[in-house]
Amino acid sequence: MKLSPRDAAGFLARPDPRVPALLIFGADPMRVAERRQKVIAAQLGAQGEAEMRLARMPAADLRREPGAAMDAMRAQGFFPGPRAVLVEDATDAAAEALKPALAAWEEGDALMVVTAGALNAGSKLRKLFEGDKRALSLAVYDDPPGRDEIEAMLRAEGLTGLPPEAMRDLVALGQGLEPGEFRQTLTRIALYKHDDPAPLSPEEIALLVPAAGEAAIDAVLDAVAEGRLGDIAPLNTRLAGSGVAPVTLCIGALRHFRLLHALASDPRGAGQAVATLRPPVFGPRRDRLLRHARRWPVARVEAALGALVETDLALRSGARLPAQALVERVLMRLASIAGAKG
């Protein structure tokens, strides 16, 4: 039978002892592993693996020993308690070996957890589990975690009672990061806030998210968009000293002003448009982007894009040009536009 996403959280946290097996499959191995870890931990308890109540086997081994899965399900260990069998990296080739194990399962046997990559609707493995009246099949999609799932992760890390603006930024963060990276970030935030009674702030979240390789480029672009003409030359020199190529800075500027154009031209207004950006932006960067959008109406942004495209073409032309000076000049020109009235 299919296990719906709505019912999955409950089963993964409290496996039904009448269910013989669970297939977890999906294109993202990190998300599949996360759900596999959760259901096995719930089935075995804290000491289950140490007490050898978990049997692991690669699905490829079932080709040589088709009866291995059934033997592992029925085996009785030295320690009492619920048991589990983990069959990893299964493909359709494992379906024939798993079929008799499912049919022979009796209450009290181990729960069998099978993990697999992406499986299409015609997959033999999916049909085996979805056609069985007792076994379950859980499809793990690439959708970002919803608010309820994120709140559950936060509770598990001991983070509760978050201010609305912090929760908003964490939801946005969950949509932009890989699942494992997002969970590591929540753990980092929990450690940072340990014994700190102050509410979690957007500034603290921005401080603790994975470091962005483009942070130095962002600093230059902030100065440009805010019209801070005097900051551009020293920032550009520092950027060049760190090994960032002028063409990379130009590409970053094009990306930033295309983003401003999308915000400035959106009929809903920049405030609503920024919430729909993918990947999402949050915290201080979101606030800065909105300030830039207010400073840069559509006509100014289009003028900036024209100047940047012209510079980008010159840099890629193959001519012997002073690339750093060329980019610095166009950025200073744009900063002058930002500082102009009207």
d(CA 283, CA 273): 15
Q: Do 134 and 157 have their domain in common? A: no
CATH number reported for the structural domain that contains residue 69 in this entry: 3.40.50.300
What pLDDT is recorded for position 312? Answer: 87
Q: Do 85 and 172 have their domain in common? A: no
Q: Do 163 and 230 have their domain in common? A: no
Q: Do 88 and 30 have their domain in common? A: yes
Q: Do 274 and 318 have their domain in common? A: yes
d(CA 220, CA 36): 44
What backbone torsions phi and psi does residue 50 show, to the nearest 5 degrees?
A: -65, -30
Q: Which residue has the higher pLDDT, 184 or 254?
A: 254
Q: Do 129 and 192 have their domain in common? A: no
Q: Do 219 and 135 have their domain in common? A: no
What backbone torsions phi and psi does residue 25 show, to the nearest 5 degrees?
A: -140, 155
What backbone torsions phi and psi does residue 72 show, to the nearest 5 degrees?
A: -70, -35
d(CA 33, CA 140): 10
Q: What is the pLDDT of residues 49-87, one digit of tens each?
A: 788 899 999 999 898 888 999 999 988 877 888 999 999
Q: Do 219 and 267 have their domain in common? A: yes
Q: Do 94 and 193 have their domain in common? A: no
Encoding tokens for residue 324? 């750093």
Q: Do 187 and 289 have their domain in common? A: no
The residue among 156, 185, 208 that closes a domain is 208
| pLDDT greater than 70 at residue 1 | yes
Q: pLDDT band for 213, please (50, 70, 90 cuts).
A: very low
Lowest mean pLDDT across 69-83, 142-156, 278-292: 278-292
CATH number reported for the structural domain that contains residue 295 in this entry: 1.20.272.10
Q: How many domains does the chain contain in total?
A: 3
Q: Do 160 and 54 have their domain in common? A: no
Q: What is the dihedral of CA 148, 154, 160, 165, to 10 degrees?
A: -70
CB atoms within 10 A of CB 235: 20
Can you say whether residue 161 is alpha, beta or left, with left for phi > 0 and alpha for psi between -120 and 50 degrees? left
Encoding tokens for residue 171? 């939801």
The residue among 208, 234, 251 that closes a domain is 208
Q: Do 186 and 285 have their domain in common? A: no
- The domain of 245 spans 215-339
The residue among 140, 175, 194 that closes a domain is 140
Side by side, the strands of the sheet bearing 111-116 are 54-58, 84-90, 111-116, 21-26, 136-140
